[in-house]
Structure 1
């Protein structure tokens, strides 16, 4: 994975639980499936990969400003971990006041907006992150994830594909691409992605998410 390190390496483990509704309706229906309210919720544990992180160094910044950014990004990751999204937003905005092209701040702010259900706003931040560093898998994943929740399933597929191209073992991208494909009634492709996601989650020490992916696989298979 290509990463561009800041002056200090920040290990970001923002443990999030993204809630999507389970699939409903007949998979044989020619219409795209809708994501609908169901008895159980999909809560694959979305644990961000270790990000070292993600911003091109801005050598025009003074050392004091660079240190402030590093401290703010560390705090943002902690706020995300605690689910304090308002504070995380404030931190991202503070970083962007110092460095208006900070990749990590845009990525984290987009990520935070997805947690608040503000998916269109999140997309704008992910697109800014892509503009700054189009080589990273993460903002493409974020934009795809937001589009799934906006029921723009076709639009999400290219982003998940780009994430997987850059990070071939990006389990979350396989999982959510599977969800998008299922909602487009492409059931064989959806099951393949969900099975791959389960394998990767298991390999990466996330058995809960692996089981959730298999549960969705079985739901599709038996619908």
Structure 2
């Protein structure tokens, strides 16, 4: 926020009109007010200036002097309110007496507004104070609108942009919010707050390239700002530009080695690159810095579970729940650990608890669908997924998940339609490429099989994963087998067996034997619905 500067106030005082003392009974008090304002040190000094200026106006001044006195009075009242408000906005934590401080500051500002209705800073501070808890939202809205109007008329682009950013932060209307951030960037292209905020809104709209451009501009303006670098790292991660994201995370850590931000961001990138070990190492470092970092605890819990260390994962969730038992992410992670142990009733119960407080939450609903599928309730899972896709028809993950569930109930044509819809949204999702290629090659329904397209899709998935994923190489082999090219099928199936591990390796060997017998692989599922009632969960995790 822009506040009236001492330089501006001083210049106003220096330019005070020269007058004939005899014609102004209040001139002596005004002169004293001016002298004191030039050397003001404390709140008491400001209060004395206010008293003298009010006295001068009461006693009487010539027209020009009276106008000057009102401007001086308004500026001083603002200055007094601003100093009081520092105990709210510039102190950590804010003063416990902040409601009383706000009341006094607002009284000052109301007087200032009456004496000089053209001082934008007065309205900006009114807005900031009124948006605090138990404030007057209507008064806040009217004040910020007036500040924006005044600053636009003054042709002060930097202050105007700051006011637009504040107004955008105050509104729940997403279109109005975006318009204000957009206008702020256009008014002041160097306003990093506006650039970052507009970038986040571009991300929500799926306009990743525009978000990247805004954040890169912000980084150029603030090369040493870890928050800006971190935001750009997140965008690069979302764009799957992992190497660029890692470099940015390294810069964040170099700038702030004793803060957790960089380590948490870098851990996420490592995970997306299938490097669990490095992800866990970064989270270990974050938790050395802050043992109560909830995001780090919960992320590490998930990675430890994936790394086959359920007890360590459980310990992290228990700690997170002890720190704050009401954080939804902790309850969600608790449910995931239960599901990993096959305790789907407990996992479903936990998510249903979250949904009671937030019934439209898409993440919770998707998690519920996954648990229902895991508990062999695919038809109930489909009901949840149908509702999610009705609400958001542009989410590729929802189509993929529903496609997987449809496969489990032997609805291959419908599954293929969902996979195709997912690929239109994200053409390089290797999971969707693989699953669609697999069903096109292995379905027992002859009418849906298409060896040519299966090979094309599987080849693309292999290229994207550098031919290093056993299950994708297996899919490529199945496509060639469906085509009747068993020599090539055996080649890729043999490579898949070499890379496979555990139970997966046994399955891959069976496929290879089929191809050696010149038999294409066929697969169909039709999961029988679990009709047992969902009872209350047993709780193995202490909360």
Q: TM-score, normalised by structure 1?
A: 0.62
Checking the alignment, whether the CA contact within 8 Å between 1:92 and 1:108 is kept in structure 2 is yes
Checking the alignment, whether the CA contact within 8 Å between 1:101 and 1:132 is kept in structure 2 is no
Pair 1:217–1:80, CA change in 2 (3 A): farther
Q: Deviations over 1:74-124 (max 9, x none)?
A: 323333444443322122211111111111111111112222332211111
Distance in 2 between residues matched to 1:71 and 1:150, nearest whole Å: 32
**What residue is the counterpart of 2:367 in the other structure?**
108
Please say if 1:187 is aligned against 2:451.
Answer: yes
**What residue is the counterpart of 2:353 in the other structure?**
94
Distance in 2 between residues matched to 1:206 and 1:118, nearest whole Å: 33
**What residue is the counterpart of 1:217 in the other structure?**
479
Pair 1:76–1:131, CA change in 2 (3 A): farther
Q: Which runs of no fewer than 5 residues in structure 1 stay unpaired?
A: 16-63
In the TM superposition, 1:150-161 aligns within 5 A as: 150-161=409-420
Checking the alignment, whether the CA contact within 8 Å between 1:80 and 1:112 is kept in structure 2 is yes
Distance in 1 between residues matched to 2:373 and 2:468, nearest whole Å: 22
Distance in 2 between residues matched to 1:158 and 1:149, nearest whole Å: 15
In the TM superposition, 1:29-68 aligns within 5 A as: 67-68=326-327
Q: For structure 1, which segment, 93-102 or 107-116, has the greater mean C-alpha deviation from structure 2 after superposition?
A: 107-116
Larger proportion of helix: 2
Q: Deviations over 1:175-201 (max 9, x none)?
A: 22123323212221122222223333x
Q: For structure 1, which segment, 89-98 or 161-170, has the greater mean C-alpha deviation from structure 2 after superposition?
A: 161-170
Residue-pair matches, total: 169
Pair 1:219–1:114, CA change in 2 (3 A): farther
Pair 1:128–1:98, CA change in 2 (3 A): same
Checking the alignment, whether the CA contact within 8 Å between 2:416 and 2:439 is kept in structure 1 is yes
Q: Helix, strand or coil: the match of 1:100?
A: coil
Q: Helix, strand or coil: the match of 1:163?
A: helix
Distance apart, 1:3 and its partner CA: 6.2
Q: Helix, strand or coil: the match of 1:168?
A: coil
Please say if 1:70 is aligned against 2:334.
Answer: no
Q: Helix, strand or coil: the match of 1:113?
A: helix
Checking the alignment, whether the CA contact within 8 Å between 1:199 and 1:210 is kept in structure 2 is no
- Flag the structure with more relative contact order, 1 or 2, with Cα contacts below 8 A and sequence separation at least 6: 1
Pair 1:218–1:186, CA change in 2 (3 A): closer
Pair 1:2–1:213, CA change in 2 (3 A): farther
Distance apart, 1:158 and its partner CA: 2.3
Distance in 2 between residues matched to 1:95 and 1:176, nearest whole Å: 31
Distance in 2 between residues matched to 1:132 and 1:72, nearest whole Å: 24
1:168 to 427, 431, 444: 427
Checking the alignment, whether the CA contact within 8 Å between 1:194 and 1:216 is kept in structure 2 is no
Q: Which runs of no fewer than 5 residues in structure 2 stay unpaired?
A: 1-201, 206-294, 307-323, 487-519, 521-543
Q: Deviations over 1:18-64 (max 9, x none)?
A: xxxxxxxxxxxxxxxxxxxxxxxxxxxxxxxxxxxxxxxxxxxxxx9
Distance in 2 between residues matched to 1:176 and 1:213, nearest whole Å: 8
**What residue is the counterpart of 2:463 in the other structure?**
199
Distance apart, 1:155 and its partner CA: 1.2
Checking the alignment, whether the CA contact within 8 Å between 1:106 and 1:128 is kept in structure 2 is no
